Chains A and B, each alone.
Chain A
Amino acid sequence: MGNYEDYINRLKGAKAELDGGKMYSRIEIKIAGRARRNRLLMGGALGLLLIGSVIYFNVRPYLSGGSETLADYVFQQNEMNGDQILNYVFMD
């Protein structure tokens, strides 16, 4: 046990220098970096949500077979072909 106790005493006495100021600066830099990263991630997520919702609300009517555009509406109401629709829409 003697050797073990000597060893533990050496461990207790072992010194390692700490440059507290330098470490604090590094920690501050990392904190700022992580905050910036979080802001970017949040911005990215909101951007994707916005783009996704724009695409969704513009594409959905076509997928569900609705008649959301003027051309569709005119075609459905009057049973016109493409040329007739163009004439109808752009007629003076």
Chain B
Amino acid sequence: MDFAGIYADSKDKVWKLVSRYVLVREDREDLFQEIYLSVHRALPRFRGESSIHTWIYKITVNTAINYAKKQSRYKWIKKMLGGLRTIEEEVQDIATDIQTFKPLEKLNPWQRMVLLLSDVEEKKLEEIAEILKIPIGTVKSNLHRAREIIKKEVKKNGEL
């Protein structure tokens, strides 16, 4: 399958995950493009050992986690510098679903991804462990912690 075909076939699924994982519109678009650049770069090395969808999923998830880690470093630098707009302020600019996405901000990149894959995308824990290349015990502990944090946030913010 060529790159254009892969893009047409997978873009909606990738966007769905990206748009829940990253809160700011510009960052979503940036990450989305970054994912397909990685796909384009890795395509000649794709040997068809797994399905193309699983392969793209792995690239999406790993690129997203790396992106979020980078973003949290920038956030810290922005806070250090002060006076500049923080991510929270940028999130305020999103007209829709602010309240829905805001509790996700409290999770670290791994917790957020595990929660989305497990509870929103409804993937099995074994599958998540394989995609993220981490032990299943780590998936469980991340998921448990993520759920606790979200429950606390939902309770704190009242009815969403």
Contacts and interface: CB of A to CB of B under 8 A. Distances in A.
Given A7-B154, A7-B160, A23-B11, A14 B101 contact: yes
**Main SS class of interface, B:** helix
B12 A30 contact: no
A3 B37 contact: no
Contacts of A8: 119-120
Interface residues of A, number: 21
Give the contact-size bracket for chain B: 20 to 34
Given A7-B103, A7-B150, A27-B36, A16 B160 contact: no
Contacts of B4: 24
B97 A3 contact: no
B100 to A, nearest CB: 5
A63 interface: no
B140 interface: no
Nearest to A29: B33
A16 B6 CA distance: 21
Nearest to A12: B120
A91 interface: no
**Main SS class of interface, A:** helix
Nearest to B153: A7
Contacts of A15: 96
A31 interface: yes
A12 B16 CA distance: 9
Contacts of A20: 7-8, 11-12
A34 B37 CA distance: 9
A59 interface: no
5 contacts: A7-B150, A10-B97, A11-B119, A20-B7, A20-B8
